[in-house]
Amino acid sequence: MPPTDLNMTPGDSTRGRILLEAGPIFAEKGFRATTVREICEQAHVNVASINYYFGDKRQLYHQTVVLAREMRVEQVPEPNWDDTTDPQQKLLDFITLILRRLVAMQTEPWQVRLLMREILEPTETCKHLVEEYFRPFFDTLCGIVDDLVGHRLPEPTRNKIGFSIIGQCLYYRFSAEMTRLLIEQQDYVDQYDLDNLAHHIHLFSIGGLKQYQTLENLRPPNSIATKQ
C-alpha cells in the first residue's frame, strides 16, 4: 500500500512532488484538459505513479484543492482583532484579506486559480470547501456588517450586503483578463493596486451600508418601474 504523506512537507516524497506539480497544471488548464502525462513529466515520475499513489486522476485533483486552501490560509493569515477594534477598521481589514487571499492582485498564485475554479464550477470537493472555509469566512463578514449597521437586519438583506462587498472584490479576479482588454494597460498597473482598490471598495461599501442604517429603506421593493 502506498504511503499517504499526512502531516509531511510536500516535495520531499514522490507523492508530495506529484501534488506540488499537479496543482499549477490543474489550476491553469482545469481538470479535464490536464493530462496525467504532463504532470508526471513535470514531476519526473512514471505515468503509473498517479494511480499508484492516488488511485486515479480525480482523487489527485481533490487532494490538490485541499492543499491549495491550506497553503493559501497559511500564506495570508487573518488579521488579529481585539474587542476594541473599530468595525470600520475591521471591514477594511476584511476587504484587504479577500483581496490578498482570494483575488491576489497582479499576481495569480496557482492556489487562487484552483479555488476560483471550484467556485465557478463546483465539483464534489467544493462542498468540503464551503463548510470548512467559505462559511466561517462569510460569517465573519456578516458579524462586521451587523456591527456597522447597528441594528438587526433580516438575514437575506444582511446576506445581500455581504455579497455586495464580496462581489466587488471578486470582480477583479473573475473579470481580470477582460478588464485588461477594456482599460489602458498602464492604468491597470498604476491605479488598481491592492491598497488603492481596498480603499475604494471600503469607501463605497460604507456608503452602501449607510442606506441600511435608516430603517426606511428596509421596506421591500414595491412595484419597481422597469421597462420591458
Partner DNA sequence: AACTGTATTAAACACTTGTTTAATCACAAC
Partner DNA sequence: GTTGTGATTAAACAAGTGTTTAATACAGTT
Q: How many CA atoms lie within 13 A of 15 on its CB side?
A: 18
Q: Say whether residue 138 binds a second copy (CB under 8 A).
A: yes
Whether the Cβ atoms of residue 65 and residue 125 lie closer than 8 Å to each other: yes
Q: Say whether residue 224 binds a second copy (CB under 8 A).
A: yes
**Contact with a second copy (CB under 8 A): which of 12, 70, 121, 147?**
121
Q: Say whether residue 169 binds a second copy (CB under 8 A).
A: yes
Residues 1-20 that bind DNA (CB under 7 A): 1-3, 14
Q: Say whether residue 30 binds a second copy (CB under 8 A).
A: yes
| Residue 48 C-beta: closest distance to DNA, Å | 4
Stretch that binds a second copy, among 7-15, 17-25, 59-67, 188-196 (CB under 8 A): 188-196
Q: How far is CA 69 from the centre of its chain?
A: 9
Phi-psi category of residue 104: left, alpha or beta, with phi > 0 → left and psi -120 to 50 → alpha: left
Whether the Cβ atoms of residue 103 and residue 209 lie closer than 8 Å to each other: no
| Residue 53 C-beta: closest distance to DNA, Å | 7
Stretch that binds DNA, among 43-51, 72-80, 143-151, 155-163 (CB under 7 A): 43-51
